[in-house]
A and B are shown apart, each in its own frame.
Chain A
Amino acid sequence: MADASQTDARLVESETTETDAVAGVAVGLSAVLFALAVAALFERVSLTGSLFGIRTVTLLGGLLTALGVAVVAFGAGSRLGYVETDPDPSAGLVAGFGAAVPWVVVGGSAASQTLGLGTTVGVLAGTAVGGGAFALTVLPREDVGSTLPLGSLLALTGLVFLTGVIGPTWVWELDWAQQAALTAEFLIPAATLFSALYGGWASAKAYGGFGARGRHMGAYVLVYLNALSIVAFLFVLVAFVVVQGVPGLLNGVEIGLGTGPQTTVLGVSVTLPVSVPFVMNGVALFNDFQGVLPAIVGTVWLVLGAVVLAVPLGVGAALFLTEYADRGRFTQVVEIATNGLWSTPSIVFGLFGFAFLIPRFGNGKSLLSGMITLGFMLLPLVVITSREAMLSVPDEYRDASAALGVSKWQTIRSVVLPAALPGVVTGVILGVGRIAGETAPILLTMAGGTFVPGSQTVDVLGSFQFTSAPPFVANPALLEATSALPYQLYALISAGVGASSNVGNADEFRWATALVLLVVVLSFYAIGIATRYYFRRRLTHT
């Protein structure tokens, strides 16, 4: 849609004028205020200190006042005909409510707290002030309605900061049984943040000349900002974990021939050329560097087990639903059940595994129970994605195959499944990424141990044995409690500071565990997303 229907507004727009420039500067000012507010909220900018030689609160107040005055001036100029705009008769109900909400808060808290008139008067005053702002937005022409209430709100906030009514040391005790207070440290950045959003909205509307185009502008500024914030949030989050986790992860890393541990690759014993103790060791008394190898191996086996269980089941069910079953009661019930399973909270799966699987597999937490629980969680994801992939295989393929006179199963096996394979694979990989990071279900069914010695690294393949009593096959490794990365992180957090003695720097150890977990999970996602692009490009190019 974005490409096809972007209306080209240049035809009606005259060239940039000074007034446009003023509105543009106001939008820019809002952006600066927004950034400052975020920085102050996370204490990157000190409220008690100063910026560019001016006290921070004074600077914020000054900028807010300037922004508010600019917004009001633009509206007034437009109303008096100095600025050429294209306003509607009214700013609309949405804008009205948008303006009323902050004024209710301001009016209410000013009356009840600043003037000390009590809660009842506060509520009344808030309603009155909010109603006034609503009327002032909705009743006049749009250029006044969408600037005056918001602009004066900004100016008022700015003046409150400038005059020091709310200074850096201001505190509002809430007088609750459980003590809490609103401090200036929080209130000033938060108020600035919301004011900046309102200011940006109003000035973007003004920049677009009000009317339909103005609203388009105002909305787009907010929507773009939102999308940008989400992406920025993701980056900050990942970068934060990486920065905190890298020191612990790289503790004692050595690179060079013969430094790493020995492993067996294809029957040949190889000494790895790198040594990363954190991912190659367990925890032991005499280790120079402690690590989380057992948890990593546990996660790998856990995921493998879940995939082995869920993928055949899920693909088979999807196959039946798309290829064999007629749409009816039965498919509907299956669909409801799958979607119900998809949204079932992970901790409920854990409870279910605890009540259903644990008594059946040796009455204790075990790797096998964890695998099956996670498999059940993965199942609906596999069904849903495989079904989508199979539905998107064109019917022509099936018809062409059927016209050759082959049976239905042969059509499915040699036409539908291969064509749907990319979608299925992508869905499975993304689903695995999801369950690999799940903690809650394995908490109750599988996990044990906060610091796991390297000797307890599970070896599933090596411990199959045959017994004389039913069920004749046994695998002690599958029936033992095992650690996994997400559980290990949880155990480290809940163990608190007291457990730090065996791993040296406990904080580093925790962050490094979080980083390894994040890397494992995100690499599943990266592979899944890359696979999708690969197949999509191949499909479009051939």
Chain B
Amino acid sequence: MPTVTDALGGRLTDALGAQRRRVREFVDETEPPALAIISAMTLSLLATLVGFLAVSDLTIAPFVVFLTAAGIGWFRYQEETAYTIALMMTVSTILILGLIIVFIFRESVPVIRYESATAFGITVPGLRMFIQPNWDAVSPPIRYSMVPMIHGTVMVTLIASAVAAPLGVSAALFLSEIAPATVREVVKPGVEILAGIPSIVYGFIGFTVLGPWASDQFQTTGQGSYLFVGIVVGLMALPTVVSVAEDALSSVPESMKSGSLAMGTTDWQTMTSITLPAAFSGVSAAVLLGVGRAIGETMAATVMLRGVPRLTEPLVNVFYGQETLTSLIARNYGEADGLQMDALFVAGVILFVTVLVISIGAQYIEWRMHNRLGGEV
């Protein structure tokens, strides 16, 4: 154990040292006035950020200083100013993700405290949201359980994946391996446009056309079913699966495919025994990203579901659709305040963490595939 910490400590000191050396080099190489401008820009922007976070009316002052410094820098020392601004913009992407994490977690803390439960003699905050299925924001006992919504999201996501994964991978195969150039020029923009149709339009069609039809076909009371929300959401996740899977399939080196074809195989044999296995991790990353899209899909679910946070009976009853994590937020933000609003943030945290884990997992899988195929990037 000590060797590990030592090695880690050593690497950290090394990295810090290298960083310090680079900063010193940069300071040595840069002219003093340019350095002053850069420091002024950095400091004033930091002050702006702090002022903004503190909800101060004076935030405008450091921001004006930043703009002035950047303006002067642009005319006198464009090289250094451009570098600094680009660096700041890069940092901002990380900053935004960080802010999202901090703010949605912070808002969800009170209800997590409220919903503490004791298991094996230990009080675990937030546990009661996951061990009983009762959501009641009006009459005591007031309970904010996430179980019905998690059930809904799981049902919708399962059905959506069953639709999007096979159709999406097959369409990606078609686009990258099978289609003649002219056909591809038609189908590919078609898939892109499918991604562009706003989710509320899907929801509207689902609500006015699919909903009544399904309730008639399955003789259910009222309309709104996980089955059809799942199918619609699956169609909406389809373009994501297609475009990512297509990228993965076309990144398989042409030489591998040609080698196989030279053995006298059919195109289909080459696809199943060479292209698909080689791109397998990329294709599964595509499916994962599609699943992430399906989990986060909001408006179609909000419009098509019943909006009653309870479990379906029995649990596999896909012909009834109650509520998902996303639709809970979209439906209740208006009248919610206090603990109920915080409970919506808990739903947001669950969504955010799940999808972030999926996204990182998909990136890891893609990265490994590129490494194995020896490609760049």
Chain A residues engaging chain B, CB cutoff 8 angstroms: 1-7, 9, 42-43, 171, 174, 176-183, 185-186, 212-213, 215-216, 219-220, 222-224, 226-227, 230-231, 233-234, 237-238, 240-241, 312-314, 316-317, 319-321, 323-325, 333-352, 354-356, 359-360, 376, 379-380, 383, 391, 407-409, 412-413, 430, 433-434, 436-440, 443-444, 469-473, 486, 489-490, 493-494, 510, 514, 517-518, 521-522, 524-525, 529
Q: How many whole Å from A437's CB to the nearest CB in chain B? A: 3
* Contact residues, B121-166 vs A (CB, 8 A): none
Give every chain A residue within 8 A of B7 (Cβ-Cβ).
none
- Let me know if A234 and B193 touch, CB within 8 A: yes
B359 & A324 in contact (Cβ 8 Å cutoff): no
- The answer to whether B189 touches A529, judged by C-beta atoms less than 8 angstroms apart, is yes
16 extra interchain contacts, Cβ-Cβ under 8 A, other than A179-B221, A182-B218, A342-B359?
A: A1-B254, A7-B261, A180-B218, A183-B218, A231-B190, A234-B194, A313-B93, A317-B90, A323-B86, A325-B90, A334-B94, A340-B97, A345-B298, A444-B329, A489-B204, A514-B204
Known contacts A3-B181, A355-B107, A517-B200; is A409 also within 8 Å of B344 by CB? Answer: no
Closest to B271 in A: A219
What are 24 A-B pairs with beta-carbon distances under 8 A? Answer: A7-B261, A174-B317, A178-B221, A179-B219, A180-B218, A181-B218, A212-B265, A216-B268, A216-B269, A223-B174, A226-B174, A241-B205, A313-B92, A317-B90, A324-B83, A325-B90, A348-B351, A348-B352, A349-B100, A434-B195, A437-B196, A437-B201, A518-B197, A521-B197
Chain B min CB distance to A420 (Å): 14
When distances are taken between beta carbons in the complex, the residues of chain A under 8 Å from B250 are: 1
Q: Knowing A2-B181, A409-B83, A525-B193 are in contact, say whether A341-B97 is a contact too (CB < 8 A).
A: yes
Check A355 against B103 for contact (C-beta < 8 Å). yes
Least distance between B168 CB and chain A CB atoms (Å): 9
Q: A241-B205, A347-B326, A409-B82 are in contact. Are A440 and B93 (CB under 8 A)?
A: no
The listed residue (A4, A213, A222, A340) touching B356 by CB distance below 8 A is A340
Question: B57 in the interface, Cβ–Cβ < 8 Å?
Answer: yes
In the A-B complex, the 7 residue pairs with the smallest Cβ-Cβ separation, listed nearest first, are A345-B296, A437-B198, A316-B89, A177-B313, A471-B60, A320-B86, A216-B268
Chain B residues close to A by CB (< 8 Å): 52, 55, 57-61, 78-79, 82-83, 85-90, 92-94, 96-97, 99-100, 103-104, 106-107, 167, 170-171, 173-181, 183-184, 186-187, 189-201, 203-205, 207, 213, 216-221, 235, 238, 250, 254, 257-258, 261, 265-270, 289, 292-293, 295-299, 302-303, 312-314, 317, 319-320, 326, 329-330, 333, 344-345, 348, 351-352, 355-356, 358-360, 363, 377
B90-A379 in contact (CB<8A):
no
Q: B57 and A469: CB pair below 8 A?
A: yes
Q: How many A-B residue pairs have CB under 8 A?
A: 323
Out of B196, B270, B320, name the residue touching A521 (CB < 8 Å). Answer: B196
Contacts of A470 in B (CB 8 A): 57-58, 60-61
Across-interface contacts of A376 in B (CB, < 8 A):
96
Query: Are B320 and A178 closer than 8 Å at their CB atoms?
Result: yes
Residues of B within 8 A of A180 (CB): 218-220, 317, 319-320
Q: Quick one: given A344-B100, A409-B79, are A226 and B197 in contact (CB under 8 Å)?
A: no
Please report the C-alpha to C-alpha distance between residue A238 and residue B203 in the assembled complex, in whole angstroms: 14
**CB contact under 8 A between A212 and B269, given known A347-B326, A347-B329, A440-B298:** yes
Q: Establish whether residues A493 and B360, one from each chain, have CB atoms under 8 Å apart when the complex forms.
A: no
The residue of chain A having its C-beta at the shortest distance from the C-beta of B242 within the complex is A230
B266 cross-chain contacts in A, Cβ below 8 A: 7, 9, 212-213, 215-216
Q: Please tell me if the beta carbons of B198 and A219 are within 8 angstroms of each other in the complex.
A: no
Q: How far is the CA of A234 from the CA of B238 in the complex (A)?
A: 12
The secondary-structure label for the interface of chain B is helix
Could you tell me the distance between the alpha carbons of A176 and B203 in the complex, rounded to whole angstroms? 27
Identity of the chain A residue whose Cβ is nearest the Cβ of B170 in the assembled complex: A226
B89:A486 contact, CB within 8 angstroms: no
Is there contact, CB below 8 Å, between A351 and B329?
yes
Could you say which residues of chain B place their CB within 8 Å of the CB of A314?
89
Instruction: Known A317-B89, A343-B293, A345-B355; judge A7-B267 contact (CB<8 A).
Output: yes
Q: How far is the CA of A177 from the CA of B170 in the complex (A)?
A: 38
A42 vs B174: C-alpha distance when bound (angstroms): 27
Is A2 in contact with B178, judged by CB distance below 8 angstroms? yes
- CB pair A227–B205 under 8 Å, yes or no, is no
Beyond A220-B268, A341-B97, whether A176 also contacts B317 by CB under 8 A is: yes
**Closest partner residue, chain B, to A187 (CB atom):** B217
**A215 to B298 CA separation, bound complex (whole angstroms):** 40
Cβ A437 vs Cβ B197 within 8 A? yes
Q: How far is the CA of A215 from the CA of B313 in the complex (A)?
A: 43
Task: Please name all residues of chain B whose beta carbon is closer than 8 Å to the beta carbon of A1 when the two chains form the complex.
Answer: 176-177, 250, 254, 257
Chain A residue with the shortest CB-CB distance to B250: A1
Residues in B neighbouring A518, C-beta threshold 8 A: 197-198, 201
A347, A349, A525: most-surrounded residue (chain B CB, <10 A): A347
- The CA-CA distance from A521 to B181 in the complex, in Å, is 27
Measured CB to CB, the nearest residue on chain A to B100 is A352
Q: How far is the CA of A31 from the CA of B70 in the complex (A)?
A: 66
In contact, B330 and A443 (Cβ under 8 angstroms): yes
Given contacts A185-B217, A356-B103, A434-B195, contact A2 B89 (CB under 8 A): no
CB A458 to nearest CB in B, in angstroms, measures 21
Report Cα–Cα, A438/B106, bound state, in Å.
Answer: 25
Tell me the smallest distance from the CB of B251 to a CB of chain A, in Å.
Answer: 12
Residues of B within 8 A of A186 (CB): 217-218
Most chain A CB within 10 A, of B88, B167, B174, B257, is at B174
Q: Which of A233, A321, A341 touches B96 (beta carbons < 8 Å)? A: A341
CA distance A517 to B87 in the complex (A): 37
- Tell whether, in the assembled complex, residue B196 and residue A524 are in contact, meaning their CB atoms are under 8 Å apart: yes
Question: Which residues of the other chain, A, contact B187 by a CB distance below 8 angstroms?
Answer: 227, 230-231
Contact between A439 and B299 (Cβ–Cβ < 8 Å)? Answer: yes
Q: Contact: A231 with B186, CB < 8 Å? A: yes
**B86, B103, B221, B345 interface centre (most CB from chain A within 10 Å):** B86
Q: Which residues of the partner chain B approach A524 to less than 8 Å between Cβ atoms?
A: 196
The CA of A365 and the CA of B221, in the complex, are separated in Å by 37
Which of these, B97, B192, B269, B298, contacts A337 with CB under 8 Å?
Answer: B97
A347 near B296 (CB under 8 angstroms)?
yes
* B170 in contact with A430 (CB, 8 Å): no
Residue of A nearest to B189 (CB): A529
The complex places the Cα of A297 from the Cα of B260 at a distance, in Å, of 56
Structural contact, B317 and A178, CB atoms closer than 8 A: yes
Q: Are A227 and B86 in contact (CB under 8 A)?
A: no
Q: Write the chain A residue with the least CB distance to B264.
A: A7
Known: A178-B220, A444-B333, A525-B196. A6 touches B190 (CB 8 A): no
Contacts of B79 in A (CB 8 A): 407-409
A514 to B299, alpha carbons, bound, how many Å? 14
Whether B267 pairs with A6 at a CB distance below 8 angstroms is yes
Q: CA A349 – CA B87 in complex, angstroms?
A: 24
**Complexed CA–CA distance, A240 and B302 (Å):** 22
Closest-by-CB residue of A relative to B329 is: A347
Q: Judging by beta carbons under 8 Å apart, are B104 and A355 in contact?
A: yes
Q: Give bound CA distance, A156 to B184, whole Å.
A: 39
Q: Could you say which of B170, B200, B329 contacts A486, with CB atoms under 8 Å apart?
A: B200
Residues of B within 8 A of A177 (CB): 313-314, 317
Interchain CB contact (< 8 A) of B360 among A340, A344, A391, A409: A340
